[in-house]
Amino acid sequence: MQERDRRTVTLVLGGVRSGKSRFAQECARRFSRVGFIATAKPSDAEMIEKIRRHREERPNHWQTLEEPLELARVITKHAAAFDTLLVDCLTIFIANLLDAAEADPANTDPTSMELRIECLLEALRTAPASVVLVSNEVGSGVVPPYPAGRRFRDRLGELNQRVAAIADNVVLMVAGLPVTLKGTIGARLGVQI
């Protein structure tokens, strides 16, 4: 089991329904003070239902912080109050960043997304709490047929690589089973699905 007095960064990757969120929650359950950073926005009925279901699955004593765009700010502001922060998920975070850029055509600054990503990476490096991040693995999929899909896949793949480079642990979830890519957390932590 991960030492509780040593802060770590753990990236949990996987495809849709691979068990990645459940595994990340199991990682976080070992701590008493957990902050759950949700990146999803209640944009439609399906997403509202998914958010409701996810809230019910989390322990009541976890504090939920909702932030679709400014992950670095939330991590920096709240990390000292928790033993661990669980970010679910980077996939939606990237989609939110792309949507924000598209919604503001006057903002032609290509560095605004990059600046948010750089700030996130710095927040992960310096956070006084452990951080567990969930993200979809997009490197095994087909090439999206539309430019927007390819931009999304490329940005998420790049972010996953950058987070993995600074992470202490990287786990790939396959059919509910953790495959440790970096570190030892997946080998020591079992998940019941």
Q: Could you list the active site residues?
A: 54
Tokens of 21: 């969120």
Q: Is 137 exposed, middle or buried (0-12, 13-18, 19+ CB in 10 A)?
A: buried
Question: Residue 67 in contact with residue 96, Cβ under 8 Å?
Answer: no
Distance CA 28, CA 22 (A): 10
Phi and psi, residue 171, nearest 5°: -125, 135
With both helix axes pointing from N to C terminus, report the angle between 111-126 and 71-78 in degrees, rounded to the nearest 10.
20
Distance CA 182, CA 120 (A): 20
Rounded alpha-carbon distances, angstroms, from residue 79 to 5, 116, 175: 14, 18, 31
Q: Which residue has the tokens 């007095």?
A: 5
